[in-house]
Structure 1
Amino acid sequence: MTNFSHQYSNFDGPGAVRACLRSIDWQACPLGPPAAWPSELSAVVNLMLNSRFPMFVAWGPKLIFLYNDDYATIMGDKHPGGLGQRFEQVWGEIWPVIAPIAADAMAGRSSYFEDLPLMIKRDASVQRAWFTFSYSPVAGSGGGVGGIYCAVVETTANVEARQVQAFQLHLSDTLRALTSSEAIVAAASESLGRATQVARVLYAEVDDERGTFYIRRDWLAKGALSVAGEIRRLDDFGPQVIARLRAGHPIAVADVFTDVFTAPFASAYRAMGVGAMVSVPLVKGGKLIAILSMHSDVARAWHDSDVRMAQEMAERTWSAVESAQAQGQLRESNQRKDEFLAMLAHELRNPLAPISAAAELMERSPQDAERVRRTSAVISRQVRHMTGLVDDLLDVSRVTRGQVTLNQAPQDMKNVVASAVEQVRPLIGARNHRLTLELPPETAQVLGDETRLVQVITNLLNNAAKYTPEGGHVRLTMATEPSQVIVRVIDDGIGIAPELQTRVFDLFAQAERTSDRSQGGLGLGLALVKSLVALHGGQVSCFSEGANCGSSFSLRLPRFEALPEPVERRKHPRLEAADANERIMIVDDNADAATMLGMLLEASGHEVMVENRSLAGLKLATEALPAICILDIGLPDMDGYELARRLREVRGLERALLIAVTGYGQESDRQRAFAAGFDHHMVKPVDAQKLLRIVAGHSVLAGV
């Protein structure tokens, strides 16, 4: 190639473009040798080459393209081949946009554009870029326009930064009012898709253990193929890609058919219509949970802003989804709690109605002994029912707060089942159920609290009986494994809806199982079962095929291997009422409660004195020296603890039997009562039979 640099000294000097200009065969170029160029072209080229601002010149009817070093960075791999070529050949991909602007300049009209977006092809890929530039006509030697002079700056980085900020604001505004997880993902996917002008944005949930992902939803540009609802294998898309996602790193692939990591798996991408992609992972607890991907149907060079917007969308979306789920769970919990409180009010009002009616009837017919006996029986049954409701509430509260201590010892689960069946048999019989037991021949021993284990099995059997129509079948099976004892309670009752099975053991959830509350109860049994089983190191689960398909509850407890010597239980002889009557003092500021309790004790042959104030009770006890003092704790002038301490200091009352009666039944309340000098602690409403046995027992011991 002939060197024509001597023909034009302005090509001398530093710079890559000058070096290229010196090497061009200008004889073959429409511009001809530089020495023959018109002075106007020479002047503008000289100005351009000596500038540090990106510039180009397009000269003559064919708009031959010349540029400087700073513009060469915009050219990418079009440099140096673009020097001396026709403008429309150099920038053919954007010529339909540029041609009218160039025509205006050649007609003598200047133009200015700020942040004009163009899809340009450089570095072997098509990419979106923005430019601020002006086209100015340059006079030729004949007096007309000889060419175009352009000063240009690429503003892609600034525009993308503003777009990311605008996208962040738009996304925040869009997601702020949404409360549904589905709506959040849909709105965020659409926002990202439109901002990045991709063909598809999809959200996939990953089952990393199975190596699959489920495409929950996708947003599509017009004409794009939906893949929502499909399940795909992770490894079908390249182990290196998935490994990077598992490590928590986003990945951008400009061309899945040539990328070293994705090309061997091109068929999987082709089946989804993917030519280029950006994927952002969600990793929690070291596991890949979800993937957000945006796809182009053709190869595309991704900018940092594309990846940043995808990451921003993923982070904000997942945060919004978690918040929406938490708020939804809170709303659902509050709703269940409200339903529970309404049910609790209903359950408490039910026994109050017959109690109120019975009391009024007794007042009207006090001389009718048979009617009084029958109404008293009604009151006793309803009070026991109300006491059971309150005990259930307190029991589940203590257990769920971890305030229960297990008295653990080796237990044969067959004995536990026998005790539970004994308790539930009246309900089974009342509903005419057929109860079948299938127990193993070998010992099924666990380490646990006998009372609590009986409570667990009883609750499961009660639950089965309550929700199985009359004449149904309840079956209890037990099996042993080397490390477990498995108990199943199976019924052919009303079943459990699939959406309820995941939370049937939660507090307040069971009230939804059926609108039929004819069996009563607060629906706390299964929550109590779950907590007690967990305290024993076991697990409980349920299964039902749906409405009217019955239910199966499975209980798994660790098997106790060592078989210790059988321990003979301590026998507690039943104490019958003694012949001797006792002098008993009752102190309770609830006058009705004190009077009724006094009447009960008097009916058993005891001498009873009643006071409603602590100081009056202390004075009476000092004078009368009762053998037994029954004291309320919540007294107005001096609480029962202090009264008990003072009574112990009275000469002659050192051995008196002190019984605390209170509405507080926590273990801490019991310990405080014993520390104050009480011998017994009873929770209101008082179990009358138990109180009479305590009094009778004191009479027996006092006579020894």
Structure 2
Amino acid sequence: MPHPTRSQVQRYGIAGLSVLLASVLMLLLDPLLAMTRSPFLLFFGAVMVSAWYGGLGPGLFATALSGFISTYFFLPPLYSLSLDWVNGSRLSLFLLEGVLISALSDALRVAKQRVERSLFKLQLSEEQYRQLVVQGQAQTNTLNAIFSASVDHIYVFDQAGRYRYVSDGGAQVLGFQPHDLVGKTWKELGLPADLMEPVDAQRETVMTTGRSLTSETVFTTDNGVRFYEYILAPLHADPSTQSVVVISRDVTERKQAEAERNQLLVREQAARAEAEVQRNRLHSLLLQAPAFICISRGPDHVFEFANPRYYQLVGNRELIGRTNREAFPELAGQGFFELLDQVLATGQPFFGNEIAAQLDRQGNGSIEEGFFNFVYQPMFDINGAVEGVITFGFEVTDQVVARRQAEALAADLRIQQVALKKSEARFSRLVESNIIGVLLTGPSGTIMEANDAFLKIVGYTREDLHDGVMNWSEMTPPEYVQQDELVLQELAASGSCTPFEKAYIRKDGSQVPILLGAARLESDELAWVCFVLDLSESKKVEALLRQQTEELSRANRLKDEFLATVSHELRTPLNAMLGWSTMLRSRQLDEATTNRAIETIERNARAQNQLINDLLDVSRIITGKLRLNVRPVILVSVIEAAIDSIRPAAEAKDIRWQSILDPNAGPVSGDSDRLQQVFWNLLSNAVKFTPKGGRVQIRLERINSHIEVTVSDTGQGISPEFLPYVFERLQQADSTTTRAHGGLGLGLAIVRHLVELHGGSVDATSAGEGKGATFMVNLPITIFRPEPTDMERVHPTVSDTAPLLDTPRLDGLKVLIVDDEIDARELLAMLLRQRGAVTTTVASAREALSIIIQSAFDQKPDVLVSDIGMPSEDGYTLIRQVRALAPEQGGRIPAIALTAYARTEDRIKALASGFQSHVPKPVEPVEFITVLASLIDRFQSLKQQLPAEAPAMSPPHLDNFC
């Protein structure tokens, strides 16, 4: 290492001495001039002297030493090297200025020295030229270093298309070193023509026009497909040689970000479309409702919606966009507009029962009176403010009129009875008038005389009367004989009887209902006079009233159920969906909030879809359209399936399970899916109303000729007042429970209906609130004698062996499993791998179709196992898309439908869609492996029958097979 020269020591010594002198002066002057306010004042002079005398190095040394001393002695806090932001900035400015002063002073010093040595430099021109060459090379190296550090790739081409320069990054992209490329064309290097031909053509264009071009290209590298954006520009630095520079930049990440943004936009559009579908479903439900429904909004109650039933009610008039007062001027003064204002102001609903309204239904000024049961239900916006009113109700005009007519008829009948008892003198006049039937008879039953009215009632002629063929005892139906004996005793005792109802058999054999009264003639104790009133019309009116009363009750029940559903359940998901949709339209949400909004809309849309499905299920129960797929069922497997589905919710609440299932309890005759629904509802309620750390028990046992399933819990229990109504539809214990746990109150009602359809019964007991509840389901045992093949299919819970080992091996079989439930996919994959199969699992129909299409011919799956019920695209859609493919694309792949939809019609639909087999859930491993192996054997035998020269065609055998 060389020693410093004497001049260097002097220069750095002068620099240190100058700084030391400036420091001493500042310390001496500080008490007088407060030098801490200008801590660098004298140091500037020290830096200038050091740089002028010693050059750049001493100047920088003086700058650094001055900064250190100023920091320690003059910058607060004093005698410390710590600085705040302001003083740090001041120190930085001083150091920068010191560097600039040193550089300028050094430059002046060097300039002076150069002037002094100019004569000497002229004599050494050759040496200077060599130094310039070295400096040029250094600059070139510097430029190369800059290009190498740049993210852009740089290429320079000459007129012949040869590389004149290539940066390190550009050569690395092409798979070469820079020196391998210089002096050669892309054809000589064997670069891809599809990549280089467009670039070469653009290079010639730039050379011809002298204008720059911008373009993009796609290049496949070892790291995959990359996207590049590049600029071509002419180089005019060398007039003798025209060149083109190409600057390329990798924009793959930007392209990927754009693709992800587009995908997010597509998801958002899909969520909005799903929300629109649900909104259309609700709109369709309102249009098809049996009640009249309308929606008005704002303080003026402007009509926004009215269903067809409402238009039938009010006549053919314009409603939408008009206020209530404009649409119904005839209702002014009847109180309806005031009721709407009251509901809008208070937010409380109004329930009207048999309210009269004067309406101009024909639109011609003719006012008609009608009676209505209706409700004005307030409609709230997302902020909880009342924004409108929903009107829902039924017209009961016919029922009210019929009841009033019946009441008037009954009053008239009572008046007639009183009149008959009061005046015997009017009898003769009454007989002659033929208003009612009158006859003369006795205990023997022979009718001696009768008026035309009576003959008309019983259908006999006067010739029949004279011939003596009419006898009231023979005309009396057997069910009225005992009643007649009591009337005869009353006649014998009091001489008359209270009018009573009975029937006579007419001559044609039909029966006619009558009201009959009798009195004994004083002149002859064995002769009675009887009056007969035909009740046929009255009975028809009564039957009509009963029918209308039943229809009214049913209409009220439908109204209550529909109101409860619309008012308390449908608005909840709609509020969240509409609120988030409004915020999404503002386009002011960040990405995380946007994703949350989309997920919320999607979740509420699905919740609303489930709610509508539940309502439709209840509708099927009410209308009697619910059907069972009846077959022998072993309840152990059904209950275990229900337990498995509810177990995650129980584990989340740390609830202890206890299942006591008798495997020998015997089979029942029923629908396994509906029975699983029964036990799932009971277990779900038990888990929902049992607190954390509680216990739920389910017991299956045989008691005499029936099976009893008991579900008990240590939850909140049922109050004695509510216990009789626990199985009623839309019943909740109290409003607090409804708010805490949600639900429509339909679960237990569905349980009772399904159990009764199976010929069983369900009961509930509870010691009171906070003491848990117990539900007992009783089902009759069916007599079931299995065939030998059936006896082999024993449920795994009661089997002592492992029949899976006896199933066929599936070594090397490639199976594609499609199921949106990860647990189901993993179960099937593990089951098949144990038998030697190679499995591929996906969660959607789209992924499965992509694998089938994109796989090489010899790598395509040998068999497809798909669930039916999946989001977005179900199994039916998947198999139709697969069957639409050409055979070489996998269109003839054998397929098995694996689903919990196990009804006969579900199996037929699966086979008609393109599946070859249908296996119901829960999966029985032996059955599933056997079905799979049998399907493959059938497929292989059919393939062997095909001609070898036409493998890509679709032979009739395979068409029939698929």
TM-score by length of 1: 0.41
Greater Rg over alpha carbons, structure? 2
Larger helix percent: 2
- TM-score, structure 2 normalization: 0.32
